Amino acid sequence: MLRPLIAGNWKMNTNIHQGVELVIRLRELLKGVDAVEVLLAPPFTSIYHLSHLVADSPIRLCGQNLFWEKSGAFTGEISGDMLKTAGCDYVIIGHSERREYFKESDETVNKKVVAAIRDGLKPIICVGETLEEREKGKSISKVKLQVKKALAGLPGGALRDITLAYEPIWAIGTGKTASPEEAEEVHNALRELLFEMFDTDSLKNTRIIYGGSVKADNIDSLMSQPNIDGALVGGASLKAEDFARIVKFLPR
Ligand code: PGA
């Protein structure tokens, strides 16, 4: 089994000075951490500079998005190779904010997943249901379909490098977290889906992490669930003390 993964998604926050300050503080707070894999996803413009600051620390870097073409006339886009050579090991794909504001579809998510693996990046694929879908009892069918489409055409071996992030849309940035039991139910269903789609051997290293208002005061109970392998943290990752406490979760 892989170590749990705690990832901080800074979204469109922090200029380069603020990013440096945050990383310097986190480096101090996370000294010696090795039981957990720690990731930060800063804005593109800070990645290369921060890659030097995290070199001797447990922190690794992650892109917030990528484009699937290798290079060319795609103004404003960033390729996997650009992320990789700037210092990223991972990339977030299909975050609900990208799906909502930038009209990303399950098909473009799939293209991005394929491109990330081609370019040597580990994708963190986000899925999640709206409040309306949850109230209609459709949470599990929605996220299963998103995962099936995101992984379409991939060989089982590719799963080694993939992380799924269950992020109920109604819990993102709202202060409402799924209860540990609600999250566990979905994670368990996703784990079963992966077993249906791929062979057991490919799945040993596939993590399913939870995102949506993860905070210092709810991480312990979330991480006590058997199928929650980590967290994708938005708002709380912008405060060094809070994020460090989340990384040092105490499963109950
Ligand atoms: P939040 O964001 O922790 O601020 O709810 C989570 C995410 O969008 O990944």
Our CA angle for 35, 203, 6, nearest 5°, is 30
Our CA angle for 100, 147, 214, nearest 5°, is 65
Q: What is the pLDDT of residue 146?
A: 98
Q: What is the pLDDT of residue 201?
A: 73
Q: What is the pLDDT of residue 156?
A: 80
Percent of the chain with pLDDT over 90: 88
Say how many C-beta atoms besides its own lie within 10 A of residue 82's C-beta.
19
Whether residue 62 is contained in a domain is answered as: yes
Whether residue 83 is contained in a domain is answered as: yes
Q: Average pLDDT of the chain?
A: 95
- Cα separation, 183 vs 227, in Å, equals 9
pLDDT band at 99 (very low <50, low <70, confident <90, very high): very high
pLDDT band at 199 (very low <50, low <70, confident <90, very high): confident
Q: What is the pLDDT of residue 137?
A: 95
Six-digit token string for 53: 């600051």
Q: How far is Cα of residue 197 from the mean position of the Cα atoms in its chain? A: 21
Whether the per-residue pLDDT at 252 is higher than 90: the answer is no
Whether residue 108 is contained in a domain is answered as: yes
- Site to probe by mutation for ligand 1, drawn from 232, 237, 238 as the one with most ligand atoms within 8 Å of Cβ, is 232
User: 231: part of which helix (H) or strand (E)?
Assistant: strand 230-233
Q: Is the dihedral of CA 121, 82, 150, 176 positive or negative?
A: positive
Q: Which atom of ligand 1 is nearest to the CA of 92?
A: 9
Whether residue 252 is contained in a domain is answered as: no
Whether residue 238 is contained in a domain is answered as: yes
Q: What is the pLDDT of residue 157?
A: 82
- Ligand 1 centroid – CA 78 distance (Å): 22
Calculate mean pLDDT across residues 150-164. Answer: 90
- The CATH code of the domain that includes 239 is 3.20.20.70
Whether residue 95 is contained in a domain is answered as: yes
Calculate mean pLDDT across residues 54-68. Answer: 97
Q: How far is Cα of residue 125 from the mean position of the Cα atoms in its chain? A: 6
Domain total in the chain: 1
Cβ neighbors of 86 (< 8 A, separation 6 or more) are: 44, 47, 48, 51, 61
141 close to 102: Cβ distance less than 8 angstroms:
no
- Cα separation, 61 vs 42, in Å, equals 8
Say how many C-beta atoms besides its own lie within 10 A of residue 121's C-beta.
24
Span 123-156, pLDDT tens digits: 999 999 999 999 999 999 999 999 999 999 998 8
Whether residue 80 is contained in a domain is answered as: yes
Whether the per-residue pLDDT at 206 is higher than 70: the answer is yes
Name the residue at shortest CA distance from atom 7 of ligand 1: 234
For residue 42, give its domain range: 5-247
Cβ 232 under 6 angstroms from ligand 1? yes
Calculate mean pLDDT across residues 152-178. Answer: 90
Whether the per-residue pLDDT at 1 is higher than 70: the answer is no
Cβ 212 under 6 angstroms from ligand 1? yes
Percent of the chain with pLDDT over 70: 99
User: 92: part of which helix (H) or strand (E)?
Assistant: strand 88-93
193 close to 150: Cβ distance less than 8 angstroms:
no
Q: What is the pLDDT of residue 134?
A: 94
Whether the per-residue pLDDT at 159 is higher than 90: the answer is no
Whether residue 186 is contained in a domain is answered as: yes
